[in-house]
Amino acid sequence: MNPLIDVYSLRPVNVVEVVFMALCLFGIILLWSKPRFRGICLLFALEIVLMAFNFSEETQLFNQGYLITPALTLTTGPAFYLFVKHLVFEDHRWSVSQLVHFVPTLVALFFTRQTAAVIAVGSVSLVIYGVLAYRLLLRYRVASHQSSAAAREMRLDWLVTIMLAFAVLGVTDIVRLNLQQVMSYPLANTWYLLHQLCVLTLFATLAILAVQQPILFDGLSRYEPVDINNSDSDLYRTLFQSIHDTIVDQALHRRPRLSLNDLAEVTQLNSKDISTAVNIGAERSFCDYINQLRVDDVKQQLAAIENSTPNLLNIAMRAGFNSKSSFNAVFKAMTGVTPRQYHRQQHLQ
């Protein structure tokens, strides 16, 4: 099929590849305006290149005598890792030195005839970079809980789920490649088509969830936990009591997105010291501590209401929660029952 392709001779998987490229291009257009999502734009751009070569090799568009796509499998892992790194580190800058992650791809171009071996190395690379990215996401989760009461809105659990899905697809694709020699052509072709459809769906989901991400945590480099020796623990507990009194007296927990920086401005204390004091004095993260104060606030408001059907959303908003879903999730996690069930139990007593 050269040089022009007969549309009617295209296989379904080739149509999926064209749709895939269009989707990735659209994702780049949507996300390029968000600096911390430039990494995902790189990932999408590399997938466009991969799909373009897939399309070319399968349709013989350019009659190339060798395969390039196996080597390109080594780009997905590094691209995903760099995407996560730039997402969680607000102050991380792009540099030429990061190109070293793609050196294995260049090396693999000289071994394209060993297709199975190159793809196996690409799969191992994806696992290694996946683990590194997952560790970054765990650090992000811990640090965001240490510094902001809006940590639930900043969470990236959706990204962890997508990474696990990619891992599963990677494993199944290795199985497919190893069984390809013993499978019938229709079965192998159908399996490959389903794999590409699943990958397309994952990338579409990734783009949608990235666009919908409301806010991101900006302080991973500054708010990670520190080790405290026993001699300092008593000092931090005393400091926590002072901080706690200030928060309660001024009802600071009612600020919807209270952060360590906000509290530092009020108390004139170092945000790192506040975080450490809360960890030691309250024995929980800053986010969980503030949410506990809000839940206690809701309980007090409910206790003062005789109405059997109170407006729970208004009460939650007054206590500092800024969404119904967040309020319900936090309240049930801390009390074991929903807000409505809690009020009903109190009303019956």
Say yes or no to pLDDT of 239 above 80: yes
User: Phi and psi dihedrals of 148, rounded to 5?
Assistant: -145, 140
The answer to whether position 1 is within a domain reads no
Shared-domain flag, residues 185 and 111: yes
* Matching residue, tokens 């009461």: 149
Going by C-alpha positions, the residue among 236, 265, 257 that lies closest to residue 317 is 257
Mean pLDDT across the chain: 86
* Matching residue, tokens 């390809």: 180
**CA–CA dist 334, 296 (Å, integer):** 10
The answer to whether position 55 is within a domain reads yes
Q: Point out the least confidently predicted range of 36-45, 93-102, 106-115, 302-311.
A: 302-311
Q: Tell me the angle at which helices 324-335 and 339-348 cross, rounded to the nearest 10 degrees.
A: 60
CA–chain centroid gap for 13, Å, is: 29
pLDDT for 233: 84
**CA–CA dist 274, 12 (Å, integer):** 58
Say yes or no to pLDDT of 177 above 80: no
Q: pLDDT exceeding 70 applies to what percent of the chain?
A: 91
Say yes or no to pLDDT of 277 above 50: yes
Shared-domain flag, residues 194 and 263: no
Shared-domain flag, residues 244 and 132: no
Shared-domain flag, residues 173 and 81: yes
pLDDT for 66: 67
Shared-domain flag, residues 183 and 67: yes
* Matching residue, tokens 């929980």: 284
Q: Point out the least confidently predicted range of 10-14, 25-29, 83-87, 274-278.
A: 10-14
Shared-domain flag, residues 184 and 267: no
Shared-domain flag, residues 205 and 236: no
Say yes or no to pLDDT of 310 above 70: yes
Say yes or no to pLDDT of 337 above 50: yes
**CB burial of residue 34 (10 Å; 0-12, 13-18, 19+):** middle
Q: What residues contact residue 8 under an 8 Å CB cut-off, 6+ apart?
A: none
CA–chain centroid gap for 266, Å, is: 32
Per-range mean pLDDT, top range of 58-62, 92-96, 276-280, 309-313: 276-280
Task: Among 179, 212, 245, identify where a domain stops.
Answer: 212
The dihedral built from the CA positions of residue 199, 205, 206 and 207, taken in this order, carries a sign that is positive
Give the residue-averaged pLDDT of 166-181.
82
pLDDT for 101: 94
Q: Is pLDDT larger for residue 59 or for residue 300?
A: 300
Shared-domain flag, residues 204 and 55: yes
Domain tally for the chain?
2
Instruction: Dump pLDDT digits (tens) for 189-217.
Output: 899 899 999 999 999 999 999 998 888 88
User: Phi and psi dihedrals of 259, rounded to 5?
Assistant: -125, 170
Task: Among 212, 242, 258, identify where a domain stops.
Answer: 212
Going by C-alpha positions, the residue among 170, 196, 207 that lies closest to residue 14 is 196
The domain in which residue 196 lies consists of 7-212
Instruction: Dump pLDDT digits (tens) for 31-73.
Output: 998 888 999 999 999 999 999 988 888 877 766 566 788 888 8
**CA–CA dist 277, 280 (Å, integer):** 5
Shared-domain flag, residues 105 and 207: yes
The answer to whether position 150 is within a domain reads yes
Q: Is pLDDT larger for residue 331 or for residue 93?
A: 331
pLDDT for 78: 94
Shared-domain flag, residues 70 and 204: yes
Shared-domain flag, residues 98 and 247: no
What pLDDT band is residue 223 in, cutting at 50, 70 and 90? low
The number of beta carbons lying within 10 Å of the beta carbon of residue 206 is: 23
Instruction: Dump pLDDT digits (tens) for 2-28.
Output: 445 555 457 888 899 999 999 999 999
Classify each residue of 165-174 as buried b or exposed e, where b means 16 or more C-beta atoms within 10 Å of its C-beta.
bbbebbeebb
The answer to whether position 225 is within a domain reads no
Classify each residue of 85-118 as buried b or exposed e, where b means 16 or more C-beta atoms within 10 Å of its C-beta.
ebbbbeebeeeeebeebeebbeebbeeeeeeeeb
Whichever domain contains 259, its CATH number is 1.10.10.60
Q: Is pLDDT larger for residue 3 or for residue 166?
A: 166
Residues in the chain: 349
On whether the CB atoms of residues 133 and 84 are closer than 8 A, the answer is yes
Say yes or no to pLDDT of 349 above 80: no
What spatial distance separates the first Cα and last Cα of the chain, rounded to whole Å?
Answer: 79
Show the tokens assigned to 49: 């290149």
The answer to whether position 94 is within a domain reads yes
The answer to whether position 226 is within a domain reads no
Shared-domain flag, residues 298 and 183: no
Give the SS3 label for residue 240.
Answer: helix
pLDDT for 325: 86
The answer to whether position 120 is within a domain reads yes
The residues facing 148 across adjacent strands are 259
Instruction: Dump pLDDT digits (tens) for 106-155.
Output: 999 888 788 878 888 888 888 899 999 999 999 998 888 888 888 888 88
pLDDT for 104: 93
Task: Among 184, 212, 240, identify where a domain stops.
Answer: 212
What pLDDT band is residue 1 in, cutting at 50, 70 and 90? very low
**CA–CA dist 324, 313 (Å, integer):** 6
**CA–CA dist 95, 246 (Å, integer):** 44
Classify each residue of 7-30 as buried b or exposed e, where b means 16 or more C-beta atoms within 10 Å of its C-beta.
eeebeebbebbeebbebbeebbeb
The answer to whether position 217 is within a domain reads no
